[in-house]
Amino acid sequence: MLLRRGEEYNKIRGGVETHKSCVYYPCMMVAYVDGGSRGNPGPSGIGVVIKLPTGRKIEISEWIGSRDNNYAEYAALLVALAYAAACGAQRLQVYSDSQVVVRQISGLYTCQSPGLKPIHDLCQELIRALEHFTIIHIRRHYNAEANRLAHAAIERAQRNKKLRFPAPLRHSFLEVAMAHAQGRICLLQPPGWQSSGVGAAEALVTA
């Protein structure tokens, strides 16, 4: 029922196809991504929920500084893609409530915004390295976990800095993801992507 209400864009062998139903593979990694901004642009955060084929769940909640909402949505997708690369995953299925991101990544819309084009291209670079990639648009209430994590990052950062908006963290999840997509580093596994111990970012692993 949930998937029939969404839009699915499936990349197979370098192309993009539109489907009404979902195909699941044995070793498929699944990610729910969301980005939020207060002010647009304004203080922003990302939330990523990754479900591994082993049954483990990863939750990432990170402050990314002052950005607009669409950038935050792309940032969440980029972190999910980089995490998949770090784990050596070849199949990734992403759920997002951002029509802009889903349709631009699928190729139905062209990304022409100077502020979004660089991060859009980084996402596409990591997508091309996957054997199978699917991105599905879902309604916001189906993405509640990722949304909660994104807004928790903003609140955590504001609270820790007494409402003075801090700069994004050095060696943050987003910074590591960008460096990997740009080829500046090679992620062989997700080291340091456990709890950072810093107030603006958190990653939790649950059984």
> Cα–Cα distance between 191 and 50 in angstroms, integer?
16
Least confident window among 86-95, 140-149, 183-192: 183-192
Domain chopping of the chain, boundaries: 2-9+26-184
pTM: 0.79
> Cα–Cα distance between 80 and 82 in angstroms, integer?
5
With a cut of 70, say whether residue 74 has pLDDT above it: yes
> Cα–Cα distance between 30 and 93 in angstroms, integer?
5
CB 177 within 8 A of CB 82: yes
pLDDT of residue 171: 56
Would you state the CATH architecture of domain 2-9+26-184? 2-Layer Sandwich (3.30)
Give residue 54's identity as a one-letter amino acid code: T
With a cut of 80, say whether residue 39 has pLDDT above it: yes
pLDDT digits (tens, 9 = 90+) for 98-139: 999 999 999 999 999 999 999 999 999 999 999 999 999 999
